[in-house]
Amino acid sequence: MEQFDVVFLGTGSPLPSPDRCGAGHVLVAGRQHVLVDCGWGAARKILAAGIFPSEIGTAIFTHMHSDHITDFPDFLFLRWTSGARTPLRVYGPEGTGEMVEGFLHALRRDIGFRLAHHGDKLHPDGILVEVTEISPTSRPEPFFQREGLVLERFEVDHFPVVPAFGYRARFDGRTAVLSGDTTFTESLLHAAEGADMLVCEALNTRMLEERIRALRAIGRDLQASLFEDIPSYHIDVADVARLAARAGVRQLVLDHLIPPVPSAGPELDRFTAGMEAAFTGPIRVARDTERIPVTGAAS
């Protein structure tokens, strides 16, 4: 059986956390390494997760929220200075090209300085990016196929962020689904049917409401009111469990945790409390730099 892993670089959300960086993953499928999102701090977790940045030849983005994109410039330089000699292939929804162009424009002087300083030690193609914007679909549709890895996108509900994608990866007879940021939606349910692993964002509404009350108690009304908007476009842990059960997934992994919780201890236990009543399979809460194999039925 060939290697097929999901490596978690950042398992947090926009809310500050000492334990969890912004969204980021690497799909490792045989020799293929695919970066999925690259939010704040995620690029600096690549080496810590045991991956050499220049191994990553493809990057895909779920949507254009800052906590999914802001470490992308750092990743480009890490990839380049660790030996990349070919352009990075990038796929994502409408706006991906503008995002990449903007970052490269901001870095243009630094790129020139590095080339002037290091000369031909750095390959000029290693900092280049080839962008393909992909259209939304309600059912999974393939957009990438290489060395047995097939990547499919499907639209999720993160309104007013339109479009926003989830992704399904198929490799060596196994399937992993990454939800992206979304509410409960039929497109995610369909994409996850029979998946060996569902990586799903997760909101614990009750714990978030506790944060809101605490903020109002100290007069932080604006922040509290912003927090009150969060449940309108994220999926609660109870709905995650029900969706996983209906889809018949083999393993459920939670990330993009709202509110942020430590990597161990009673708060983490509170975050998932009650999910096992709806979903009886394995439930894991991912940690930054953790590598989780996508195992099949016979594993």
Which residues lie below 8 Å from residue 299, measured CB to CB, with a gap of 6+?
A: 1, 293
**Strands, sheet with 149-155, edge to edge from the N-terminal-most edge strand:** 141-146, 149-155, 165-171, 174-178, 197-203, 252-258, 283-285
Tell me, yes or no, if 71 is annotated catalytic. no
- Residue pair 151/144 in contact by the 8 Å Cβ criterion: yes
d(CA 273, CA 224): 24
Please tell me whether residue 28 adopts helix, strand or coil conformation.
strand
3-state helix, strand, coil in the chain (%, to 5): 35, 25, 40
Per the residue annotation, which of 5, 37, 67, 288 is the catalytic one? 67
Q: Is 115 in a helix, a strand, or coil?
A: helix
State the catalytic residues. 67
